[in-house]
Structure 1
Amino acid sequence: MSGVGPVEPGEGTRAWDVPEADLTPVPEPPRGRFTRAHARHRRAVLAVAAAAVVVLAGGGYLYATRPKPEPGPEAPYPSQAVGVRYLGPAPRSAGGPRGSFGFVVELSVLDGPTITVPRMTQPYAGLSVRTDPRTPFRIGTDEPRKIVITMRVTECGKVPESAGLPFLDVTLRNTRAIETHSFILGERYAQDLSDALQVACSNDSTSSPNA
């Protein structure tokens, strides 16, 4: 009887058939002077980077825990920071409208930031008012500002024959608030206004001065 027996492994197909020299690990090449210097430089760089991280972390902590500055003083309300002074009648301009007259006042900022004056009015329905300079205008703390207030009688029946305690309504605005405040200008202003109204309406106290 014939047959094929088990196949024998070929030469070099088993581990014990590999020559001993082929299994020896390859030795690491010797480290030269350049390699050692590079390693030292790398360690130095890593140390500096680590120190920088520590410094930055410490600086961030100090910044976060620093004392907060005290807030500055709040600006005063504009009505408390403005002074108004009556200076007297304004010079009459030639050729001005009939029934018109003017007064000069001085506005000054006593404290705080610059103040804007958006509007100036008076309480009598029979009088119109305009200012020079025209509103809105600004007032700073550097020096007072003179304002010429020109009034014109539009209806004599709606103005008093004698202004007992007249005042000006002035709207003021600064960085804190906007207010409308009534300023009483004193007895001298009351007398000058009464005299001007009597002259403007001397012909007929019940009619318009333009009639």
Structure 2
Amino acid sequence: MNAIGPVEPGEGTAVPRPVGRRPTPGRPTALRGRPLAAALTAALLLVAGGCLYATRPHLPPPTPPAPSQLPYPAQVVYVTFVGPHAPPPGSGPQSFAFEVLLSVDAGPEVTVTRVSQPYAGLSLTTAPRTPFRTEAGAARTIVITMHVTECGTVPENAGLPFLDVTLRNTRAIQEQSFILGARYAQALSRALQVACSNESGHHQNARDA
């Protein structure tokens, strides 16, 4: 009985086995060291940047302008008429009030130390009371309450009424006259007529009594 076994390759026909590539000694160690080197480099850069920031030259603070370089208060303050306002409680029948807006355009803060008007038969108070301060770039609402003390010395029709305002900043103290325009003149004339008519009615009632 013949047996068939595995075919033996002929001479010179054997297939060579693939030879695997041996890993280079030390290569994994080099790969593992790269992240560590990058981290050390980044840390060194941070330390160097911090040293440069800490040792940078410091600029001196800006020198504030001299008082002679600041604007005069009258150059930067504006007063505008807003309209009639209810007088404070207890002001009396011969009192009336107006609202004005005072604004400061630039420069240091401005202090209003006094507000007055030119007619002898009138007195006034302000809310807020003087002195009060207003910063540059800001506006403040002021309520001016007037009281007629003598109707014979106030005009029946106020032509160009104005307010005298004393202003102070670090440059100077100035008194400025602000003409508030036709609306203020008309409102003031009407208020004076009403106040003096109240006085006439009061005197008439006193005589009748």
Normalising by the smaller structure, the TM-score range is 0.5 to 0.7
The number of residue pairs the alignment matches comes to 141
Taking the aligned partners of 1:180 and 1:95, their CA distance within structure 2 comes to 31
Of the three residues 82, 87, 94, the one matched with 2:82 is: 87
Deviation at 1:192, TM superposition (A): 0.1
CA RMSD of aligned residues (A): 2.4
Corresponding residue for 2:65? 72
Deviation at 1:78, TM superposition (A): 0.5
Corresponding residue for 1:125? 120
Contact kept? 2:87, 2:97, Cα under 8 Å: yes
Q: 1:134 to 1:70 in 2, by over 3 A?
A: closer
Query: SS at 1:85's partner residue?
Result: strand
Deviation at 1:191, TM superposition (A): 0.1
Letter in 2 for 1:72: P
Taking the aligned partners of 2:167 and 2:98, their CA distance within structure 1 comes to 20
1:106 aligned onto 2:101: yes
Deviation at 1:202, TM superposition (A): 1.6
Deviations 1:102-156 (A, max 9, x none): 0000001111000000000000000001000000000112421000000000000
**Which residues of structure 2 form unaligned runs of 5+?**
1-61
Query: SS at 1:202's partner residue?
Result: helix
Identity of aligned residues (%): 63
Corresponding residue for 1:201? 196
**Which residues of structure 1 form unaligned runs of 5+?**
1-68
1:141 aligned onto 2:150: no
Deviation at 1:203, TM superposition (A): 5.2
Of the three residues 110, 115, 122, the one matched with 1:115 is: 110
Taking the aligned partners of 1:134 and 1:92, their CA distance within structure 2 comes to 15
Corresponding residue for 2:177? 182
Q: 1:161 to 1:92 in 2, by over 3 A?
A: same
Structure-2-length-normalised TM-score? 0.62
Structure-1-length-normalised TM-score? 0.62
Taking the aligned partners of 2:126 and 2:64, their CA distance within structure 1 comes to 38
Contact kept? 2:80, 2:180, Cα under 8 Å: yes
Deviations 1:44-67 (A, max 9, x none): xxxxxxxxxxxxxxxxxxxxxxxx
Corresponding residue for 1:168? 163
Deviation at 1:98, TM superposition (A): 2.0
Taking the aligned partners of 2:166 and 2:64, their CA distance within structure 1 comes to 28
Of the three residues 136, 139, 152, the one matched with 2:147 is: 152
Corresponding residue for 1:25? none
Q: 1:175 to 1:93 in 2, by over 3 A?
A: closer
